[in-house]
Amino acid sequence: MRFWRALKSLGCAVIRDGVYLLPARPAHEEAFRELCSAILDAGGVAHLMSAGNRNAEQEAQFRSLFDRSADHVAFEKSVIDTRKSLAGLAPSEINRLVRRLRKEYETIRAIDYFPNDASSHTDATWSDFLGAATTVLSPDEPHAANNDIQTLAKDAYQGRTWATRRRLWVDRVASAWLIRRFIDLQARFLWLEKPSACPKQALGFDFDGAAFTHVGERVTFEVLMASFALDGDRGLVRLGEMVRALDTGGAVVPEAAGFEAVLAGARRRGLDDDQLLEELGQVLDSLHAHFNGQEIAV
């Protein structure tokens, strides 16, 4: 059963009992080699062979064995059904559903070796669902701009007032930490009830029309990094990946779930935004050191 599950997770096509097929790619060959070794070590019999297509007709037959259309249809139905119930759910439940569906989506895409129209339709449905979930969770969440990111001099941004939406969440708390820790050590923060309340002299971040907000696929944290030439710090780059994974979706970062849990717990304890930044700032300090591989003498 262990080997069967491994073959299934690879998305193998079944030619007949005991005969499994994958497209000829280096990663697949390596996976098969490891499975063969494990089967032989367990006292079984395994052979690894390469097979070519005799003609276009046979290639089409082989490709048809990897058709994931039914998986895409089932996933889309699940997403559509879930979307209908979003408005009545608590934020924690929405986040849980998004994580579960994202895992299903990534599992299907990982073994969709020959994408087709069904794949494209699923991508669009998933993107729409993420947008709907974000709207419910954060009605004022910024839309990504398409402008270029200019490199700025930190000297011109010292002792400033920075403003963002109140009730801090992942991108906002991480961006505020980044500002105070690496950009403007004397920064003062305003937590806005609505973006429209941002004073003209304040530097807004993480809302539509703000001085610093989402650009393309980059979240506000990453835009601030690029704006102030901080993207050479590997710890900050890794933190940026974590923030993006939690804020808009992206490659899974193992530490992301733990950071989200700490942030959610801090909010449930009733901390105000200043207290939240202070407490989560220490967590981000530790994660930054962890991602940089820094050793601390004891």
Is residue 162 within a helix (H) or strand (E), and if so which, with residue range?
strand 161-165
| 221 and 245 Cβ atoms separated by less than 8 Å | no
Q: Three-class SS of residue 282?
A: helix
Asked if 103 and 215 sit in the same domain, the reply is: no
Assess if residue 146 is contained within a domain.
no
pLDDT at 141: 64
111, 137, 163: which is the final residue of a domain? 137
Q: Are residues 163 and 286 located together in one domain of the fold?
A: yes
Domain-embedded: residue 142: no
pLDDT tier, 145 (very low <50, low <70, confident <90, very high otherwise): low
Query: What does the block give as tokens for 135?
Result: 């709207």
In this structure, the answer to whether residues 9 and 33 fall within a common structural domain is: yes
Residue 253 lies in a domain: yes
pLDDT confidence bin for 252, thresholds 50/70/90: confident
Q: What is d(CA 188, CA 202) in angstroms, rounded to the nearest whole number?
A: 9
Residues 210, 264, single domain; the answer is: yes
Range in 35-39, 119-123, 125-129, 285-289 with the lowest mean pLDDT: 125-129
State how many domains the chain has.
Answer: 3
DSSP 54: S
- Flag whether 44 is in a domain: yes
> What percent of the chain is predicted at pLDDT more than 90?
57
215: β partners: 145, 218
Same domain? For 165 and 226 the reply is: yes
pLDDT at 139 over 80: no
Among 64, 84, 115, residue at a domain's last position:
64
pLDDT number for residue 253: 84
What are 201-227's pLDDT values in tens digits?
999 999 988 999 999 889 999 999 999
Q: Report phi then psi at 84, rounded to 5.
A: -65, -25
Closest C-alpha to 65, from 100, 23, 97, 25: 23
73 shares a domain with 58: no
Is the full-model pTM beyond 0.85? no
List Cα–Cα distances, 75 to 12, 159, 213, in angstroms: 19, 50, 32
- Supply the range of the domain harboring residue 165: 154-292
Residue 296 has pLDDT above 60, yes or no: no
Are residues 219 and 283 both part of a single domain? yes
Q: Are residues 86 and 44 in the same domain?
A: no
CA 30 to chain CA mean position, Å:
27
